[in-house]
Amino acid sequence: MILHLHNGTSADQAEEIAEKTQSVYYEKDGRFILITPSKLQEPPTSFAEEIESSFVMSSDIQLASRSYRNEVREIDLKHTKIGGSTNNTIMITGPCSIESWEQIEQSADLLKSLGITTLRAGCYKPRTSPYSFQGLGLEGLKMLSKIREKYGFNIITEVRDASHVEDVIEHADIIQIGAKAMYDHGILRRCGKARKPVLLKRGFGSTLQEFVQAAEFILSGGNEDVMLCERGIRTFETKTRFTLDLCGVSYLKEHVNLPIILDTSHAMGYRYGVPDLTRACMAMGVDGLLIESHPNPAVAQSDAAQQLDFDQYWEMYSSLEPIAAAVGRNMV
Amino acid sequence: MILHLHNGTSADQAEEIAEKTQSVYYEKDGRFILITPSKLQEPPTSFAEEIESSFVMSSDIQLASRSYRNEVREIDLKHTKIGGSTNNTIMITGPCSIESWEQIEQSADLLKSLGITTLRAGCYKPRTSPYSFQGLGLEGLKMLSKIREKYGFNIITEVRDASHVEDVIEHADIIQIGAKAMYDHGILRRCGKARKPVLLKRGFGSTLQEFVQAAEFILSGGNEDVMLCERGIRTFETKTRFTLDLCGVSYLKEHVNLPIILDTSHAMGYRYGVPDLTRACMAMGVDGLLIESHPNPAVAQSDAAQQLDFDQYWEMYSSLEPIAAAVGRNMV
Amino acid sequence: MILHLHNGTSADQAEEIAEKTQSVYYEKDGRFILITPSKLQEPPTSFAEEIESSFVMSSDIQLASRSYRNEVREIDLKHTKIGGSTNNTIMITGPCSIESWEQIEQSADLLKSLGITTLRAGCYKPRTSPYSFQGLGLEGLKMLSKIREKYGFNIITEVRDASHVEDVIEHADIIQIGAKAMYDHGILRRCGKARKPVLLKRGFGSTLQEFVQAAEFILSGGNEDVMLCERGIRTFETKTRFTLDLCGVSYLKEHVNLPIILDTSHAMGYRYGVPDLTRACMAMGVDGLLIESHPNPAVAQSDAAQQLDFDQYWEMYSSLEPIAAAVGRNMV
Amino acid sequence: MILHLHNGTSADQAEEIAEKTQSVYYEKDGRFILITPSKLQEPPTSFAEEIESSFVMSSDIQLASRSYRNEVREIDLKHTKIGGSTNNTIMITGPCSIESWEQIEQSADLLKSLGITTLRAGCYKPRTSPYSFQGLGLEGLKMLSKIREKYGFNIITEVRDASHVEDVIEHADIIQIGAKAMYDHGILRRCGKARKPVLLKRGFGSTLQEFVQAAEFILSGGNEDVMLCERGIRTFETKTRFTLDLCGVSYLKEHVNLPIILDTSHAMGYRYGVPDLTRACMAMGVDGLLIESHPNPAVAQSDAAQQLDFDQYWEMYSSLEPIAAAVGRNMV
């Protein structure tokens, strides 16, 4: 259950109510918001005076639920907004990993020429083998900061584990939590205290319930700006890298109030399928599309098979425009 | 390996070559086409004179492969064609099960008003429980034949097991092989000898490789008119009935020469997600869309939760038109 | 709900009650047993006089449920019994496919030397490709009948689809329904009328609920002698052929009254793991172990990688004896 | 490829060779061990003098591979050893979470009475919801340290994320990396530098390849004492919490040189199946069994459904003894 306390309730009172109801809570614009375990199905009568409104929930999807807020949250991404009544679909692109200054500048030029404002590039790569390229780390983050200074983009980059979460929060405009880190409490709780939007990727072995509950860790820490990113789940099918779960996206659109971003690159794992899948996602009216592109995929140090080259990205981008128009979305 | 024998090779010669090469074969327009196990990687030199052309294959996806025919096969569905250079996307709808004459006439009227020419309705339901509605059987098939006489539609209906395959072949215009029967050799082999197009659904636990190999059973029997239908696979996610595998559809489009039909009703299992998913499929440029609709889903004897009512179908249909236009498809 | 009518209720009365309650029914020793859809939660008062006893069920697992019979059914397999209070674990072995008279005689000799009484061998192979060995068919069945005459074994062999179900019922002592045919109503219903025990394999994409419901098709047809066979499910892991679901076996042992047979050969797909897994199954106290063995696996026409040679089978058999003793099972 | 340099090669030389071959390396007993990416298939001739021996590998399973060391590593767990030629199966038990001093003392008494020397209890719980019990944290670790002082047990406890890895390393005797943290580089790399044995659990959505590669992060950091723990993978079956992958265990036993521990509690999720599954694992001859037990499962703050009470644990323990004897294992 979510409890909104009256404006003006003191911090001490809020803490006392939270303790008695085993709640997590945060303050927003002078109001305390408490979230009790979902099995509590009636507001506690002993605090009737302090409670302004209450929202009974059927599961631990609470702050993210349409039963709490029946709309997509609007999130301000500095250069643009998504969600709310914007009908915006944010186009995010860039290489899997930042590999060199030259490479990232080439990517920046692609974005500039298309009017795209959000650049993605990974510095800490969650590789499954210790014997492959692990990313440029802090050096990469600093290069991304320079790119922001030079081009004015929003930078989205991934935190891999809690050991470098402070560095990512410092250098990124949007913090990406990768699929393999979806359950990482160290990251989730820290992001709950951050003042920057978070893009949370679904673990490829995680249910929708667990996915949204991971977002609840961030939301209940007081950070209301969380986007969900579907990027493919692991199934028995191995001809493609993962299986993009668009049924799950339909579920999220119906039941959850967070903007939804789609990453078709990781789902497919092969560049030939990326444009088609991206067109499919656009037709579903999602809030964003996160696609990997690289000036020369053949020499990419990670995910070489799935990154589009710039011509392919450009061609795909053009083909998305009439579909966006058909479903009433603005590509931003 | 696929071997095309010269026109004029005799049946006896063809049989001898087939035996020596452990091949399956069929005759088409006076020419014998042999398919050897794929491990054979060089044409047998002893029959060099009889062999006109040969196609080496890397797996037992042979007749269906793009390495054999690098295009989508054109299939004539009586009222319309799909595949080839038609850019047609066939709209197929109707109830999960035929339940009564009145119900099926109402469905027929919906199709007529939208100009749709292919009606679906099941007579033999592959229910998982023996204690639920099992379908009208032969009586249902006869009603569908009457609908054809009255309205002139193409009828597509499902064969559940080999015990009634003859009846379905007699009464249907397009034979649907259901997901649970995908491996049924009795059905597959019989359909290989039928003179009617076949829509083969992917088993929900079946890999893409197995799916296309099931089609090979039909194709190698001499029936060249096979359509593949993706309808969702079974994964760990249970918030939706199945998981529609659009990555798999991308794979099929790249590697296989058969038209691809999408069934979003069974994938989603809940009507709220069907229109969105169907729009996604249209944006991928698929060859057909098979959607369940019912005059009154609340009283449907099977799949009540996922069938659209007529208003919902109509609204979805309208929303598909601009997307079809955007990707250059004709809704037929 | 299961309804036992009083002995002496007439067939007409039984039929009337069945119709009014939408039940499936069969007769056993002069008593009619009706099975209603499980949503019926109270016995119909209008037939209170005819109903001797009733069993309310929570799902469509009814006749197979421990809520109906809280024990493992005893099944008479001619040379031996399993289930009930026997503590017997039946050892079944033989080749994947019968390939020749010589091969099957060699297998028969192995069984004889170990005192095993049930021989497995497939005649109709449910291959995924039309371009590989498909089995000897009826010729194979006839050879198996001769083996029975000569050695006196029980023969278990697989029906692949409904087109040859009569032949298999005629020639087999135990009818095996393969994983790919688990949903085949044509087979299931026919086996419900057969007078021979049935071994039903779990579909590799099928839930436990669906698996047991498939058995309900047979049981509700009047054949009470059904064994369930777990043989591995399909998961994301591809280093092994399938994933043997022993958690599922625990579930079945707790909730279902049918004997449980384990097939570790198909689950593992590689002979190196078969003995270890078979020992694990024995320690769980299962009712039977179905293991593939072949006089010369290297030349086997199907499943070459997973069949044990005779030395390996013999060695595994010996290692099972102390484990059987430890858990109180008799190897028969 | 793994390269053993000659004893006496200097650190500078080792570093140079590592850099030139893009290797990770560590020092063990005065010898440098380098691990190159597995695609390197021939030892670099330019360093022929420094290289004592080399091991070519077919994948990035390298240090853990049977191609490198064809035996199970022996690991010293202070009170006992596992692996090597010990034939020991270590019994590990205790509650899911430490909840109070009283509770953990009761658990300690159970261990003492059975002669078990390794106590498990979680302090940082990787819950999927922020609104349920999260564990006692550092306070719990300190209580476990006191238990060690009082009873002399080995303590195994879980690190959930990198934010508290130092605390766990300080207080635990065996560091457990949970299923949800299997990919956490922050934890893996830190454990590679720790001087304590590590038990690494398989992520429930992780392949065997990824699982062992995660162990390679620790091994290549210089910590040679890693145990693998299979605890169930996520599949489509939901009647049980997860699916215990014993086929995977067979694979690991054949291909990997690390001891294997089985956790049947999390796999099953329901206590009724735990004893049967544990007997199955013992019959496979695994190196350890990690089972949850609780003085009063009904009031447990996490995993209440799957923990055994002490009578159940005791009964299961007794039933394991004859099986251990049958397969030649010592319960320690």
The whole-angstrom distance between residue C263's C-alpha and the CA centroid of its chain comes to 10
Q: What is the pLDDT of residues D36-53, one digit of tens each?
A: 998 888 888 899 999 999
D42 shares its domain with D79: no
Q: Could you tell me which of B5, C119, B239, C139 has the C-alpha nearest to residue A210?
A: B239
Q: What is the pLDDT of residues A21-55, one digit of tens each?
A: 999 999 999 999 999 999 888 888 899 999 999 99
C81 shares its domain with C217: yes
Q: Domain containing B46: what range?
A: 2-55
| Residue D200 located in a structural domain | yes
B38 shares its domain with B115: no
Chain D CB contacts of A235 below 8 Å = none
Q: How many CB atoms lie within 10 A of CB B193?
A: 12
CA distance B52 to chain A (A): 33
| Residue C95 located in a structural domain | yes
- Top residue of D23, D55, D128 to mutate, by most chain A CBs within 10 Å, is D128
CA distance B5 to chain A (A): 33
* Angstrom distance (rounded) from CA A202 to CA A205: 8
Q: How confident is the model at residue B51 (pLDDT cuts 50, 70, 90)?
A: very high
A234·C236 Cβ contact <8 A:
yes
Q: What is the pLDDT of residues B274-329, one digit of tens each?
A: 999 999 999 999 999 999 999 999 999 998 899 999 999 999 999 999 999 999 99
- Top residue of A66, A213, A237 to mutate, by most chain B CBs within 10 Å, is A237
Please provide residue A39's backbone torsions phi and psi, each rounded to the nearest 5 degrees. Answer: -70, -20
The minimal CB distance from D186 to the residues A130, A162, A204 is found for A162
CB pairs under 8 A between B and C: 116
CB pairs under 8 A between C and D: 138
Closest chain B residue to C211 measured between Cα atoms?
A: B128
C117 shares its domain with C81: yes
CA distances from C108 to C121, C168, C309, C332 (A): 11, 20, 13, 16
| Residue A283 located in a structural domain | yes
What pLDDT shows up at residue B44? 86
Cite the beta strand spans of C41-167 per DSSP E.
Answer: 51-55, 75-76, 81-82, 88-94, 118-120, 154-159
Where residue A314 falls (left for φ over 0; alpha for ψ -120 to 50; beta otherwise) is alpha
A80 and A88 in contact (C-beta within 8 Å)? yes
Torsion from C-alpha of C151, C153, C159, C162, nearest 10 degrees: 90
| Residue A199 located in a structural domain | yes
D310 and D69 in contact (C-beta within 8 Å)? no
What pLDDT shows up at residue C188? 97
B321 and B282 in contact (C-beta within 8 Å)? no
| Residue D62 located in a structural domain | no
| Residue A302 located in a structural domain | yes
| Residue A63 located in a structural domain | no
Is residue A216's pLDDT more than 90? yes
D205·A203 Cβ contact <8 A:
yes
User: How large is the average pLDDT for residues D168-195?
Assistant: 97
CB pairs under 8 A between A and D: 116
D235·B236 Cβ contact <8 A:
yes
C121 and C154 in contact (C-beta within 8 Å)? no
The minimal CB distance from D284 to the residues C238, C268, C276 is found for C276
CA distances from C12 to A206, C34, C46 (A): 54, 13, 16
Chain B CB contacts of D234 below 8 Å = 236
Is residue D204's pLDDT more than 90? yes
The minimal CB distance from B326 to the residues A268, A285, A326 is found for A326
Q: How confident is the model at residue A19 (pLDDT cuts 50, 70, 90)?
A: very high
The enclosing domain of A147 has a CATH number of 3.20.20.70
CA distance D311 to chain A (A): 31
D38 shares its domain with D148: no
**A277-280 long-range contacts, CB within 8 A, separation 24+:** A277/A244, A277/B246, A277/B247, A277/B250, A277/B284, A278/A316, A278/A320, A279/A316, A279/A319, A279/A320, A279/A323, A279/B283, A279/B284, A279/B327, A280/A246, A280/B246, A280/B280, A280/B281, A280/B283, A280/B284
The overall longest dimension of chain A from CA atoms, in Å, is: 65
What pLDDT shows up at residue B239? 98
The total number of structural domains in chain D stands at 2
Chain C CB contacts of D267 below 8 Å = 247
D235·C233 Cβ contact <8 A:
yes
What pLDDT shows up at residue C212? 98
Closest chain A residue to D204 measured between Cα atoms?
A: A205
A197 shares its domain with A308: yes
For C218-239, give the DSSP string.
HHTTT---EEEEE--B--S--S
What pLDDT shows up at residue D61? 96
**Amino acid residing at A218:** I
Place of tokens 């390396």: D25
A43 shares its domain with A82: no
B23 shares its domain with B92: no
C68 and C60 in contact (C-beta within 8 Å)? no
B105 shares its domain with B195: yes
Ranges of chain C with pLDDT below 50: none
Closest chain D residue to B237 measured between Cα atoms?
A: D236
Chain D CB contacts of A62 below 8 Å = 131
Name the average pLDDT for chain C: 96
Chain D CB contacts of A216 below 8 Å = 129-131
ipTM at complex level = 0.96
Closest chain D residue to C286 measured between Cα atoms?
A: D276
Q: Could you tell me which of D300, D285, D194 has the C-alpha nearest to residue D246?
A: D285
CA distance D236 to chain C (A): 7
* Angstrom distance (rounded) from CA B175 to CA B225: 11
| Residue B64 located in a structural domain | no
Q: What is the pLDDT of residues B148-184, one digit of tens each?
A: 999 999 999 999 999 999 999 999 999 999 999 999 9
D112 and D100 in contact (C-beta within 8 Å)? no
Please enumerate residues of B whose Cβ is less than 8 A from a Cβ of C. Answer: 22-24, 35-38, 60, 62, 124, 126, 128-132, 134, 160-164, 180-181, 183-187, 190, 203-206, 209-210, 213-214, 216-217, 220, 234
A218 shares its domain with A320: yes
CA distances from D168 to A94, B131, D121, D322 (A): 38, 55, 12, 36
What pLDDT shows up at residue C79? 87
Enter the pTM of the model: 0.97
* Angstrom distance (rounded) from CA B322 to CA B93: 20
What pLDDT shows up at residue D203? 98
Is residue D146's pLDDT more than 90? yes
A162·D162 Cβ contact <8 A:
yes
Closest chain B residue to C25 measured between Cα atoms?
A: B131
What pLDDT shows up at residue C211? 98
Q: Could you tell me which of B319, B313, B331, B326 has the C-alpha nearest to residue B279?
A: B319
Place of tokens 């109030």: A257
D128 shares its domain with D246: yes
Q: How many CB atoms lie within 10 A of CB A253?
A: 18
* Angstrom distance (rounded) from CA B317 to CA B311: 10
D3 and D54 in contact (C-beta within 8 Å)? yes
Neighbours of chain D (3+ CB pairs under 8 A): A, B, C
What pLDDT shows up at residue A79? 87
A163·D162 Cβ contact <8 A:
yes
Residue with the larger pLDDT of the pair A132 and A328: A328
Chain D CB contacts of A190 below 8 Å = 163
Please enumerate residues of C whose Cβ is less than 8 A from a Cβ of B. Answer: 22-24, 35-38, 60, 62, 124, 126, 128-132, 134, 160-164, 180-181, 183-187, 190, 203-206, 209-210, 213-214, 216-217, 220, 234
The minimal CB distance from B217 to the residues C130, C203, C216 is found for C130
* Angstrom distance (rounded) from CA D19 to CA D1: 14
Closest chain B residue to D236 measured between Cα atoms?
A: B236
What pLDDT shows up at residue D44? 86
CA distance C243 to chain A (A): 11
Q: Enumerate the β-bridge partners of residue D227.
A: D199
Alpha helices for chain A (secondary structure H): 11-20, 101-114, 138-151, 165-171, 185-192, 208-219, 246-255, 264-268, 274-283, 310-327
User: How large is the average pLDDT for residues B93-104?
Assistant: 97
Task: Note the residue count of chain D.
Answer: 332
Portion of chain B with pLDDT greater than 90, in percent: 92
What pLDDT shows up at residue D79? 87
A106 shares its domain with A158: yes
* Angstrom distance (rounded) from CA C247 to CA D240: 6
* Angstrom distance (rounded) from CA A252 to CA A33: 23
Is residue A239's pLDDT more than 90? yes
What pLDDT shows up at residue D43? 87
